[in-house]
Amino acid sequence: MVNKPKKIIILDVDGVIFKGQFLLYTARYLGKLIHVRTSLLCVLFNMGKLSIGEMLSAAYSRFKGVTLEQTEKIYRDIPLINHAKETMEILRDHGYYVVLISSGVPDLFVKDLAARLSANEGYGVQIGVHDQCLTGEVYGTLTKPQGKSRLVEELLKKNNLTWQETIVLVDDCNNIEIMQKAGISIGVNACGFAALCLCGRQRESGGSNRYTGHSRRGHL
C-alpha cells in the first residue's frame, strides 16, 4: 500500500519555476510586434478584460506555424529559479506530493519539466500540432476559468487529501480560486499581482477587497 502524502504542494510554472513567462519568451522569439501584442493580452487578462481562454487563444493563434522543435528550444532556454530540483527532492523526501500546474505552458513541456526537477506530476495546456508545427489551437481543462481548481480537486481525491492539506505557490490572478481554497497560499510577487486583480476584478464583487485576506496566508 502506498503511503498517503503529508500534503500536496501545487506550484505554478510561469514566474515561480520559470524566471518569466513562456508566452512572452515565445512571442519575443517571433519579433517585437508579436511580443508587444502578447504582452498587452497578458495585461488585459490581469485587468479582468479577458478570460484565461480568450487570452490563451489570442496568444497561441500568433504562434501558428512555429515548429515544435523551435518551441521546445524556447522552453529549454527559459532560465529556472536557483535550486529548483534540490528543493523538490527535499520536499518529496519529507513526504510532500509536488505537482507543477500551468495554464500557459504546453502540457508536454510541463511534464518534461516535472521529470527534470523531480516533481511527482506536471500538467499544462494542450496545443494543436500538425506536421511538427503549432496550429495555433490551445485547449483543455487548464484553459477554462476554473480549470486549475477542478484539476487540483482530482489530484486531492486521488491522493486522499483535502484542500486544508494543500499548499499553493503561485504568482498571478489565474490562481485566485485555488488560493482561496488552499490551507496555505504563498504568492510570489504577491503585492503586484494582488493589485492587478483588485483593479480588474473588484467590479465583479461589488468593489469589496475580498482578495486582500490572503496576506494572512503566508504571502512572501
Total of domains in the chain: 1
Catalogue the E-assigned strands of the chain: 7-12, 96-106, 121-130, 133-139, 166-170, 184-187
Please give the chain's pLDDT, 220 residues, in tens: 467 889 999 999 999 999 999 999 999 999 999 999 999 999 999 888 999 999 999 999 999 999 999 999 999 999 999 999 999 999 999 999 999 999 999 999 999 999 999 999 999 999 999 999 999 999 999 999 899 999 999 999 999 999 999 999 988 778 888 999 999 988 876 444 444 444 444 434 443 333 333 433 433 3
Contact 200, 47 (CB under 8 A): yes
Residue 20 gets which letter from DSSP?
S
Residue 173 has a CB neighbour count (10 Å cut-off) of 21
Task: Compute, in degrees rounded to 10, the torsion defined by CA atoms 188, 192, 197, 198.
Answer: 130
pTM metric for this prediction: 0.85
Write out 71-121 in H/E/C secondary structure.
HHHHHHHCCECCCHHHHHHHHHHCCEEEEEEEEEEEHHHHHHHHHHHCCCE
Query: How, if at all, do strands 133-139 and 121-130 pair?
Result: antiparallel
User: 183 lies in a domain?
Assistant: yes
Q: Which of 102, 181, 90, 91 is nearest to 143 (CA)?
A: 102
Contact 118, 89 (CB under 8 A): yes
Q: Which triple of cell numbers denotes residue 199?
A: 483593479
- The answer as to whether 1 is a domain residue is no
- Residue 189's domain spans which residues? 7-217
User: Where does residue 126 rank: exposed (0-12), middle (13-18), buried (19+ CB within 10 A)?
Assistant: middle
Domain of 29: which CATH number?
A: 3.40.50.1000
Instruction: For residue 2, tell me if it sits in a domain.
Output: no
Please check whether residue 59 lies inside any domain of the structure: yes
CA 124 to each of CA 11, 113, 215: distance values in angstroms, whole numbers, following the listed order: 12, 11, 28
Amino acid letter, residue 79: P
Q: Within a domain: residue 179?
A: yes
Q: Is 88 left (phi over 0), alpha (psi -120 to 50) or beta?
A: alpha
Buried b (16+ CB within 10 A) or exposed e, 82-121: eebeeebeebbeeebbbbbbbbbbbbbbbbbbbeebbbbb
| Distance from C-alpha of 115 to C-alpha of 133, rounded to nearest angstrom | 24
Residue 144 lies in a domain: yes
